[in-house]
Amino acid sequence: MKKRSNLTSRYIKSKAKYFGFLNKDSLELHYWVYELFYHIQKRTNSRCILKGGAASQLYLPMGWQRCTNDIDCATDLSPKELQKVMKSIKDDFTRNGLNSSYREYIPRNIKPHHRIIPMMTFIFDIPFVFKTKKRFKYPGIKVDFLFLNISKLHKTKLISNETLGLKLNYVPIAIDKYSTISDKLITLASNSLGLESFKLEALYKNIYDLYCLINTYNDLESFKIISDRIKDSLNIEIEMKKGEYITIDSLLTDILFTLYDIATFSLRVKNSELPLQIIKFQDNTMQKEVRERLNVDMWSIMCLYLYIWVFSIRTYIKDKDYSRLQGINSVIDQYEYFASLMKKERRAFKRELNDQIKIKDPNLILEGTGNPLRLIYLNYILDNLKPNWI
C-alpha cells in the first residue's frame, strides 16, 4: 500500500482552500474515512455496507457535501472476524510505514457482552499530517459495525464517485439513497426511537443531510419509494433496539414534533443565535459558501421544508394522496410574489404575516426573525398542516 497523493498535506491544504474549510484537519479526517473504508471493503467484499453520513455525502452534489468524521457500516461478520479485519489493515499500514493502531471501544455504561444495540465499535488511530489539540485528544477514526441481516438491506454500488476533491479509486457498496433517507428520518423521532433531543449536533447533522438529499431526489417516484422504505427502516430499528412496537403514524408524528420544535425554538426563547455546538459543527464540517448561508433562519427553513415533506409522507401512507407535497410549491410561489413587491408593499406583507402567525401560535415571539421565507413557511403550516400539540 502506497500513501495516496491526495492524503498529503500539500493536496489537503489546496482543497481546503478551494472549498473554504476553516480546519484542514477536518478535511483530512474526511478523506481518511473513505480510505479506511476502502481497506475494510477490500477485506470483506459485500459483507460490510457503508451507511450514515459517509454514504449520504456520496449521493449529494459536490456543492452540498460536508465533512464526515466516522464510519458506519452494516455487517453480518462476527466480532472475531471484525477483529481480524482491523488487525489485517493495521499490519498492512505498519508494513508500509504508516504507524497505526486500533482498539475496541465500549462506552463506560455498557459492560462487555451486554451491548444495548448489536454493534461493535473500533477506534483506528491514523498518523494524520495535521496535528491539532483535538487530534491529540481524539487521535483516531471511529468505526461502528452494526450487526444486521444484510440480505434484507437495500444496497448499491456507487460508481465514479468523488467527495470534496477526493476521487475514490474503488466502488463503495452502500445503503441506497432511498433507505439512507428513511434511516436518517428515524433519527429525528426524539421521543421514541430516534436521537435524544439534547444531542443537538447529531440532530442538526441529520437535518442538513436530509434537506440536501430530499432536494436532490425530489421527484415523485423517489417520494413514493421512501414512503415504503420508512416502514422497513422502522421494523429494522425496532428489532435492533428490541424496542416496543410503534406505529408508522406515531413515528412520523414524533418526527414532525422534533422538526417543528427545532424550527421554532429561537422564536419561543427570543434568541436569534445558534447554539455554540452547532456553530462549531458548521465551522468544522461545512464549505464556506454553505457555512455563510446557515443561520438561525436558514436552519428553521430547512426544518419547516422537511415538516411539509414528512407530513406529506404521512398522508400518502394513510390515503395514497401526495397532494400535500404541493405545499412546498405554494410556499415558493408566495415567496416569489413577495420578492416581486415594492419595498413599502413588502413591509405591509410581512406585518400581515406576523399578525396571522401570532393568532395561530401565540407562543412565538416573531421579533426574533424578519426572514420572509421562514414566516411564509410557518404561516402555511399553521394554516394547512397545524401540529396537534399547539
Number of Cβ within a 10 Å radius of residue 18: 12
Number of Cβ within a 10 Å radius of residue 268: 13
Q: Which residues contact 127 (CB under 8 A, 6 or more apart)?
A: 98, 99, 100
Here the cell at position 32 is 481518511
Residue 97 backbone class (left: φ over 0; alpha: ψ -120 to 50; beta: rest):
left
Number of Cβ within a 10 Å radius of residue 8: 13
Mean pLDDT per segment of 10 residues, for the chain of length 390 residues? 70 96 95 97 96 97 97 97 98 92 80 68 91 70 96 93 94 98 97 88 97 97 98 92 88 97 88 88 97 95 98 97 95 97 95 94 87 97 88
CA neighbor of 305 nearest in space, from 212, 173, 187, 202: 212
Contact yes or no for 245/219 (Cβ under 8 A): no
Number of Cβ within a 10 Å radius of residue 285: 25
Q: Which residues contact 244 (CB under 8 A, 6 or more apart)?
A: 238
Q: Which amino acid is at 210?
A: L
pLDDT value at position 308? 98
DSSP state of 130: S
Here the cell at position 180 is 439512507
Q: In this predicted model, what pLDDT tens digit does every residue of 10-59 receive, in sequence order?
A: 999 999 999 999 999 999 999 999 999 999 999 999 999 999 999 999 99
Contact yes or no for 187/202 (Cβ under 8 A): yes
Q: What is the distance between the alpha carbons of residues 24 and 10, in angstroms, rounded to a whole number?
A: 11
Q: What is the distance between the alpha carbons of residues 274 and 277, in angstroms, rounded to a whole number?
A: 8
Here the cell at position 107 is 462506552
